[in-house]
A = this chain, B = another copy of it.
Amino acid sequence: MARTSPSERRAVVATRRRRPTLGVEAIVEVALRLVDTEGVEAVTMRRVAAEFDTGPASLYAYFPHKEALLSAVLTRVLEEIPVPRGDDWQDLLRRHMHTTRDVFARHRDVARLSFGTVPTGEHFVDIAEALLAGLLAGGVPAQVAAWAMDVGALYVAADAFEGYLQGQMFDDGSGRPPEEVGMEFYAGFADAMRALPPSRYPAITGHVDELVSGDGDDRFGFGVDMFIAGIAAQIPR
């Protein structure tokens, strides 16, 4: 019996602190680190457990299934979103959407986890209150404000997820810088459009530059502004 017994190992840990102690928060932190470095699909019960020098079964004392662990990772990330502030409702909304997107972008493809979940928890309620209050104070009708929060959240998450995937598309291939590959891809895309028959595709062939212009940030900023304009159009005067 060369292997140390569990109790011996635990004793060693207590004194030399060779590995982190198991626990809900520690597990979430390890999983989040995996997300940050390799993406959501790299989160594996085995890999997370390996960080604690143990097997996957140990994690099931803290989470009923993997989904619960990933959901905990998401709430942990959403906690990084500050309660929004702003001069007027437009400023408030714009800043909140941009910072939320930034938080998602900091953690690779976590945004994918937000689909199909109804976020709860105190911090999220605080954010919702600040947004709703700001919109109402700006004269936005309550029904418009309520649904706009919904639509806006969906748009931000979708854009963050899409942006990550687009970025991945351009660095899976070789070791070259992703933005260089991206530029090349869009140049080829533009050429393909220009090669279309103008008689059948007058609109596309006539506006290739506009169709391929702007990076992800530009397009997101445009979408946010358009979203705000859509709300503003529904303020009675």
Which of A's residues lie within 8 Å of B, judged by CB? Answer: 115-116, 118, 125, 128-129, 132-133, 136, 142-148, 150-151, 154-155, 157-159, 161-162, 164-166, 168-169, 189, 196, 200-204, 207, 210-211, 213-214, 218-219, 222-223, 225-234
Contact = CB atoms under 8 A, between A and B. Distances in A.
B204 A132 contact: yes
Nearest to A116: B165
B223 A233 contact: no
Contacts of A159: 154
Nearest to A112: B115
Contacts of A125: 196, 201, 204
24 contacts: A115-B161, A116-B164, A116-B165, A116-B166, A116-B168, A116-B169, A125-B204, A132-B204, A136-B207, A142-B210, A145-B210, A146-B211, A148-B226, A150-B219, A151-B222, A151-B226, A154-B155, A154-B159, A155-B158, A158-B158, A226-B227, A229-B233, A229-B234, A230-B233
B223 A147 contact: yes
Given A213-B143, A226-B234, A162 B154 contact: yes
B226 A165 contact: no
A155 to B, nearest CB: 6
